Amino acid sequence: MQDLRCREYTLPLTRTLLMGVLNVTPDSFFDGGRFLEAGAAVAQARRLLEDGADIIDIGAESSRPGSDPVAEEEEWERLRRVLEALLGELKVPISVDTYKPGVADRALTMGAHMLNDITGLRDPGMIGVAARHKAAVVIMHMKGKPKMMYEEAHYGDVVSEVRDFLVAQACQAENAGIRDIVIDPGIGFAKTAQHSVEIIRRFREFTTLGYPVLAGPSRKSFLGHLTGAPVEDRLEGTLAAVTAVILRGARIVRVHDVKECKRVALVADAVRCA
């Protein structure tokens, strides 16, 4: 687990990688509507890079609790304009946050490097697409669909249920020939605030499975639950959660505030490796 290959890029896994979030949606829970226009999205991608992002993750359908799915053509149209502009320019891997094989296939054909699937490759078509394009994949845990996911937030032991799902999906991906697999317990997805805290507290139970682990606590509602702060005011909570997961072995953090999280990662990495 020395490095992560994202098609023509190889990223080291010896330090924490920063995945910068870029949502080209009207309704994402934090940055919705800000980067829907291609020019604004490109400017934000450049800013994320300047701030220290190692990967840019572009999403064109919000997965916030209660959100409605977007039609495949609409999702692709939002993505296409931004991908076209960024793929020629950025010198870092571009990840596409989608669970639809049709969108994934078109994005990888255009040159994207990584698939970030919040449904953990539940659609068997996704495995075939990733394998065919030799793309890296993020397998994230979620139950149900974003629209109703809080109704699914029931577990015996949340950590073992999530871990069993991630291992099963990762094995399927490996059997299909996918080499570069990242797992993600899906903080906030069909999880109560208590479940998210439990996942962070026991994060080592994911980071000892042999796959690099990604965590996405950035500005999520469990932080609001703990601090009482609205989404615009959850930077400190995010930094605390990012520190906690890095000290427990996370290798990638998916964040909106790359500059601040990068500094936190430098310090936490130094402590982790001391």
Rule CB under 6 A: say whether 116 interacts with ligand HH2.
yes
184 is a contact residue toward ligand HH2 (CB under 6 A): yes
- The number of CA neighbours under 13 Å toward the Cβ of 185 is 28
- The DSSP 8-state label assigned to residue 213 in this structure reads B
> Using CA atoms, how far apart are residues 88 and 235, in angstroms rounded to an integer?
32
28 binds ligand HH2 (CB under 6 A): yes
- Between CA 94 and CA 214 the distance in angstroms is 16
- Binding status of residue 53 toward ligand HH2 by CB under 6 A: no
- Does 220 qualify as catalytic in the annotation? yes
Whole-angstrom distance between the N-terminal and C-terminal Cα of the chain?
19
169 binds ligand HH2 (CB under 6 A): no
Q: Does position 25 bind ligand HH2 by CB under 6 A?
A: yes
Sole binder of ligand HH2 in the list 108, 140, 181, 264 (CB under 6 A): 140
Check residue 187 for interaction with ligand HH2 (CB under 6 A): yes
196 binds ligand HH2 (CB under 6 A): no
Name which of 49 and 58 has its Cβ closer to ligand HH2.
Answer: 58
- Build a one-symbol-per-residue string for 204-243: x at contacts with ligand HH2 by CB under 6 A, - elsewhere: ----------x-x---------------------------
Catalytic residue among 220, 234, 251, 262: 220
Strand-by-strand arrangement of the 214-215 sheet: 181-184, 136-140, 114-117, 94-97, 55-59, 17-23, 252-255, 214-215
CB of 118 to ligand HH2, least distance (A): 5
Element (H, E) at 30: none
Query: Tokens representing 205?
Result: 């139970």
DSSP per-residue string spanning 158-180:
HHHHHHHHHHHHHHHHHHTT---
The only residue of 100, 113, 141, 254 in contact with ligand HH2, by rule CB under 6 A: 254
As a whole number of angstroms, the distance between CA 215 and CA 253 comes to: 5
Q: Residue 269, by phi and psi: left (phi above 0), alpha (psi -120 to 50) or beta?
A: alpha
Q: Which is nearer to ligand HH2, 1 or 273 (CB)?
A: 1
Shortest distance in whole angstroms from residue 274 CB to ligand HH2: 28
Active-site residues, by number, are 220, 254
Q: Rule CB under 6 A: which residues touch ligand HH2?
A: 21, 23, 25, 28-30, 59, 62-64, 97, 116, 118, 138, 140, 184, 186-187, 214, 216, 254
